[in-house]
Amino acid sequence: MSVLKRESLLASVFIFAVLVSYGGPDSGHAQDGASANSSDMLSLSKDEPGVLHTAMRYPKFYGDGNTVGGGLTERSYLLGELGGVRDALADYGVYANASVTQFLSGNLSGGVDTTDEPRVNGSADYWLWFDSGAAGLWPGGVVFLHGESSWKATESLNKDVGSLAAANTDATHPDPSQSNTTLSEAYLLLAFPGGPLPGNFLTAVGKQNLAAFADTNTFANNERTQFQYAGLINNPIVGSFVPYTGYAAWLTWSLGQEHALTGIFSKATGTAADDDFDSLLDDENTYAAQYTYSSRFGGLPGKYTAIAAYSTKDIMNFDISDRQFIGESLGEIPVDTKDENYTFLLNVEQFFWTEAESRNAANQRLKDSDHPGVHQHHNGPQGVGVFARAGWAPDDRNVIDQFYSLGIGGRGILIPDRGNDTWGLGWSGIHISEDLRDLNPALRTFEHAGEVFYNLEVFPAAHLTINSQVIRPADKAVDTAYTLGARLQIDF
């Protein structure tokens, strides 16, 4: 596709989205329960910060209601307000955030090889967005940018364990094959309560990580703050349908406080390291529908999600994403092309105990939101809950034809007066296609993994996680691996 065509296509999409999001002179007024900002125009950063928490897959950003100033051990961010610069930028709708995550880990026994010396790898995330409502230009819009850097990605724990799915998922982002710096996400996010469409709608278009808005889970959804094994972050079947980041568009319709419907369109190929413009007009697409029921059984929050997806991508049978496949070989597979793929996924989370004051605050945030269907899980209450995922895909073309995971997690509770610590214990079972195992008897029926982590708030800008894993890889020649690791995350 020529440069002119690319620029014209992107410009058309942007202009159309802006016009739709404006919806007339009254569409920017904050709805009941949402505080109007100084320009009386809907600002997602100020009126609906949970939407941005979800986009970042992170519980805070500088300038939201969680931001605290003060001394080094008190403030939310290591660099603080930077002499007032950050506050001044936020007043004009410009928000900037950065964090660094550093890993130190090793395989104690089993796997492909034991670790002679600790594996050291890490990553940095950079977020920058422009909030059109805060700037007083048009209501409910955010231009969202997310950059990433990784170092020593090829020297992570993954090569020692030899599992099908990554033991250290962060090391596969943004590029599983090398250390890299990328602009991984760039998209337009739009909210239009009171706009030209009925109900409360939220939409996004551009290059994005769909894991932020689909298959989300309070207890198991983030490699930077929770579990590290890939099967305890998202359903790995998804990797056969959408890339880590790729061009996509989705629309969520929140039907009251309990029900939400989301339609998703995504290109089936793409990488964080490339612009992938040539993929925009090909016929390799994925279409998905997601239904979410947000429960309040006994006042305790929960979420139940069902996803159906269909892909038109021509795939060789048993092809698999390089960010999923970490092992040495799946064996010699006869080449046979399939012209479609489909899957059905389930995702469950349910608190069974919460601290009353924290629960009331979380429930109030959802009550005030115009978009409760967007899972604002990053500000969950202090409490304990359970999670589970399941999935199915055809076994004649997918390496992973069934998937199951379950576990327990929480925020606070375990140690008195440590309400901002998080923790989790989970199991993941990746079922290897019987058709593939008939071709390669060296593969086990399941790859099993168990992991436990505790994320300790050292001070608000720094968190230290200790985790341990037991992983039995899909390859029968590889013994069960036992790992131990530490992760330090600093918010700047």
- What mean pLDDT comes out for the span 312-317? 72
Residue 453 near residue 418 (C-beta atoms within 8 A)? no
Q: What is the pLDDT of residue 322?
A: 57
Nearest to 253 by CA among 211, 290, 300: 290
- d(CA 240, CA 327) in angstroms, rounded, equals 17
Q: Which domains are seen in the chain, by residue range?
A: 3-491 (2.40.160.180)
DSSP letter string, 456-475? EEEETTEEEEEEEEEEE-SB
pLDDT at 378: 55
Mean pLDDT of the chain: 84
Query: How confident is the model over 89-141, as pLDDT tens digits?
Result: 999 999 999 999 999 999 999 999 998 888 999 999 999 999 999 999 999 99
Sign, CA dihedral 303-378-204-146, equals: negative
Confidence of residue 256 (pLDDT cuts 50, 70, 90): confident
Q: What is the pLDDT of residues 383-395, one digit of tens each?
A: 999 999 999 999 8
Task: Report the alpha-carbon distance of residue 268 to residue 311 in Å, rounded.
Answer: 7
Dmax over Cα atoms in the chain, in whole Å? 66
Q: What does the alpha-carbon distance between residue 193 and residue 132 come to, in Å, rounded to a whole number?
A: 15
The structure tokens listed for 361 are 């605050």
> Considering Cα of 189, then 192, then 195, then 199, what sign does the dihedral take?
positive
Model confidence at 286, pLDDT cuts 50, 70, 90, reads: very high
Distance CA 65, CA 461 (A): 15
- Quick: pLDDT tens for 20-47: 333 333 333 333 333 334 446 889 999 9
- Classified as helix, coil or strand, 184 is strand
What element of type H or E holds 367?
helix 356-368
